[in-house]
Amino acid sequence: MEDFRNVEKIDAHMHMWEDFDTLFAEQAIRDNFRLVNVSVYTSPTRSPQLQDDFSLRIIPSFEGRVYFITTFSIEGFHLPGWAEKCIAYLEKTIASGAIGVKVWKNVGMELRDKDGNFVMIDHAAFKPIVEFLTDRKVPLLGHLGEPKNTWLPLEQMTVQGDRDYFGENPEYHMYLHPEYPDYDQQIAARDRLLEENPDLIFIGAHLGSLEWNVDELAKRLDKYPNLAVDLAERISHLQHQAVSDWQRVHDFLIAYQDRILYGTDLRSSASDILAKGLQTKSEIMTHAHEIWLRHWRFFVTDETMQVPKVTGTFKGMKLPRTVVDKIYRTNALRWYERLT
């Protein structure tokens, strides 16, 4: 534990969208983190350019500490020239410093074609974008599908974080929407993308939406050598599995130590912070510090732990220092080559 602030670390998946959010970057300096700020296309009002411009504006103030991943809009998806327009934007943004490109769950869960059918990530319309990224060796960070929990009633979900999120966001609680593509369809579409594009560098956000079972995730890592995953907002799922089968989780982390990137999905927008009852600068920065420190305790010690999102107790993983360094730093540097 005493090494926490001495070790260089990277949170490879978090979100800052407004000036208020940079408090987390200030805490990152204290805790020896670099941050990867991820742009996400969720709506026309928070455009990719608006988010990317924010990152480019704050990066000089946190030189060497903040990097960013861009995204592309699905506005005008049905119009001629949409893919070419996206590629032109990505080309410009990558040249300005973006280290990767994000695609979000609205592909597969919201976007529909002209006939009203859901559009999945293996749709032909995305092929030019995927080929552009493959040719440029730019990683695609994919949040495709959702935790398997979202196809269950709230009371049957395995971790509190999912119960909270899907209770607050019923539009993504798929148990309430049986007309949407199911979990297996979401995963199959992502797997077809990897199958058809073996040279694409792909980072599966949130443990690749296979958070519920490390064995299922291992099968994909074995099958797709250009696949890595980040831990953003899914560490609690590893902890849940560790309650009943610590060894399996530990062995997974050891076996795939080169394919796992630390990330939190930390969101510091003013509305999120106020919802948590955090108001002062000190409280907000402490919130980030406590999350980072709790995760560090899980990976580096064998202490018996209890955490807010998991029912039951479990032991920390007590990973070797070399493995911790890969998960927390060198894997991000290797998979995101533009992160220097």
Calculate the dihedral angle through the C-alpha atoms of 101, 103, 104, 110, rounding to the nearest 10 degrees.
150
108 occurs within a structural domain:
yes
Q: Give 22-58 pLDDT, tens digit per residue.
A: 999 999 999 999 999 999 999 888 899 999 999 999 9
Q: How many CA atoms lie within 13 A of 139 on its CB side?
A: 28
2 occurs within a structural domain:
no
Decide if pLDDT at 163 tops 70: yes
- The pTM for the full model equals 0.96
Which two three-digit tokens encode residue 82? Answer: 């949409």
**Contact (Cβ atoms closer than 8 angstroms) between residue 100 and residue 334:** no
Q: Give 295-308 pLDDT, tens digit per residue.
A: 999 999 999 999 99
1 occurs within a structural domain:
no
pLDDT category at 189 given cuts 50, 70, 90 is very high
* Non-local CB neighbours of 292 within 8 Å, separated by 6+ positions: 4, 9, 11, 31, 33, 264
Q: How many CA atoms lie within 13 A of 233 on its CB side?
A: 19
- Residue bearing tokens 């079972």: 213
138 occurs within a structural domain:
yes
169 occurs within a structural domain:
yes
3 occurs within a structural domain:
no
Q: Quick one: pLDDT at residue 327?
A: 99
Domain count, the chain: 1
Find the DSSP H helices in the chain: 22-30, 48-58, 82-95, 106-109, 127-136, 160-168, 183-196, 205-208, 214-223, 235-255, 270-275, 281-300, 321-325, 331-335
Q: Give 122-141 pLDDT, tens digit per residue.
A: 999 999 999 999 999 999 99
89 occurs within a structural domain:
yes
Q: Give 268-287 pLDDT, tens digit per residue.
A: 655 566 666 766 788 889 99
60 occurs within a structural domain:
yes
Tell which residue, 34, 124, 146, 48, has the closest CA to residue 88: 48
Cα separation, 268 vs 278, whole angstroms: 11
pLDDT category at 219 given cuts 50, 70, 90 is very high
pLDDT category at 18 given cuts 50, 70, 90 is confident
DSSP helix, strand, coil percent of the chain (3-state; round to 5): 50, 10, 35
Q: Quick one: pLDDT at residue 282?
A: 85
- CATH number, position 266: 3.20.20.140
Structural domain of 33:
9-335
